[in-house]
Amino acid sequence: METDIAVVILLVGVIIVLAILFRFLFRQLAIPAFIGFSVAIGVFFAGLIFSTDPESVKIDASFEAVHDFFVPFFFVSIGMAADPAAFAGIGWPLFLLLAAAVLGKLLGAGIPAALTLGFPAGVMIGISMITCAEIALIIMQRGLSLGNLAVTPELFTWVVAISATTALVMPLVLRRLLAEHTFKWEMT
């Protein structure tokens, strides 16, 4: 009889702790949506919170199959939202946006890293940050759903082209640079 009461008390305690945890988690996810940001921002912050847990490596690995299953659907939906006619007239605006994206990431991430880790490591970190992908596409897709005043179909297509270009080219550049250089990763 006493063990049954102890088990019930333990179960009630676990349920209360889980309820508090889920309430906190859902609040973290809901606040950005409530103030008009993407729910992805809330998920990002929830990931930051849970990233301090040593067990997160095991949890992250357990979601790999689900991630691999859903990623193609995400990119297919992005591709379906792009306007093929906008690719025909891309021209200079795309190259200007691509140059701004590359220079912005290279300078914004590369200079602080170069000041801390040295010039070669700064260049490597700057180049590794150039790839624009999921979050940029999520934000642009949300803007496209709000109408032409937020994001025009042409701008959306340009950002898709920039994301595709950087996602395909930058890993090749980075692989070549890593093969040519060895780095001493110590703080200076």
State the pLDDT at residue 91. 74
Q: From CA 185, how far away is CA 183, in angstroms rounded?
A: 6
The mean per-residue pLDDT over the stretch 5-27 comes to 70
The model's pLDDT over 90-125, given as tens digits with 9 standing for 90+, comes to 678 778 888 888 898 888 888 998 998 888 888 888
Q: From CA 153, how far away is CA 159, in angstroms rounded?
A: 10
pLDDT for residue 130 is more than 80: yes
State the pLDDT at residue 106. 87
103 vs 45, more confident: 103
- Tokens read off for 50: 């849970």
The mean per-residue pLDDT over the stretch 29-39 comes to 60
Question: What's the CA angle centered on 43, arms 28 and 98, to 5 degrees?
Answer: 135
State the pLDDT at residue 178. 81
Q: From CA 93, how far away is CA 155, in angstroms rounded?
A: 9
The mean per-residue pLDDT over the stretch 63-78 comes to 75
State the pLDDT at residue 26. 59
State the pLDDT at residue 13. 77
pLDDT for residue 82 is more than 60: yes
State the pLDDT at residue 149. 82
State the pLDDT at residue 163. 85
State the pLDDT at residue 42. 65
Q: From CA 90, how far away is CA 68, in angstroms rounded?
A: 31
Q: From CA 108, how far away is CA 115, in angstroms rounded?
A: 12
Mean pLDDT over all residues of the chain? 76
State the pLDDT at residue 182. 65
124 vs 42, more confident: 124
- Kindly give, in sequence order, each residue whose CB lies less than 8 Å from that of residue 127, ignoring residues fewer than 6 positions away: 106, 110, 170, 173, 174, 177
For the entire predicted model, the pTM comes to 0.59
pLDDT for residue 21 is more than 80: no
